[in-house]
Homo-oligomer: A and B are copies of this chain.
Amino acid sequence: MFGVMNRFLSNATNRIDAKGRVSVPALFRAVLAQRGVQELYCLQDLVFPAISVGGPDLLERYERQIATADPFSPEANRMSLLVHGGGVFMRLDAEGRLMVTDFIRDFTGIGTDVTFVGRSDHFQLWQPQAFHEAQAAAREGRLSMSRPQ
């Protein structure tokens, strides 16, 4: 019964309005609601120019990684800088929209539209063009981020 609806799947592109808001696709909101997620945790992807969005569990997964290191080591310090300092909490408004901040725009190159991409246990925000190119590259088995010429 819940085999499909409890994961973030497929993708959709929505427009950012004059106030910088964009609607999260209803399917993704349904998954969030089913998981009881109200506070969204956003983090820069480690490989692609995309922002990962998920519930508190997404943050906790990264924190477990940090916890395996000596808390005063440079490694733990660097990871915390990324995970805690680079992460952002967000809430959706009553209509299920989120604000596209400069933090998101700068890292993704997003301008007027956002592509929401399901990643099973979280979803991502992409600049539409960048997403299509990354998908095409992945289809051809090219894993590098370098642009085709």
Q: Indicate with 1 or 0, residue by residue over A69-87, a CB within 8 angstroms of chain B CB atoms.
A: 0011010011111101111
How many of these chains are in the complex?
2
Contacting pair A118 B46 (CB below 8 A): no
Q: Is the CB of A47 within 8 A of B65?
A: no
A89's nearest neighbour on chain B, judged by CB, is B9
* A15-23, A92-100, A138-146: which lies at the interface: A138-146
Determine if A89 and B46 form an interchain contact, defined as CB atoms under 8 angstroms apart: no
B118–A61 touching, CB < 8 Å:
no
Alpha-carbon separation in the docked complex, A89 to B30 (Å) = 14
Query: Chain A: interface secondary structure?
Result: mixed
| A80 nearest in chain B by CB position | B119
Q: List 21 A-B contacts (CB under 8 A).
A: A3-B56, A4-B41, A9-B88, A10-B88, A27-B89, A44-B139, A46-B72, A47-B78, A48-B81, A61-B148, A65-B71, A65-B72, A79-B138, A81-B117, A81-B134, A81-B138, A82-B135, A85-B118, A85-B119, A85-B135, A87-B118
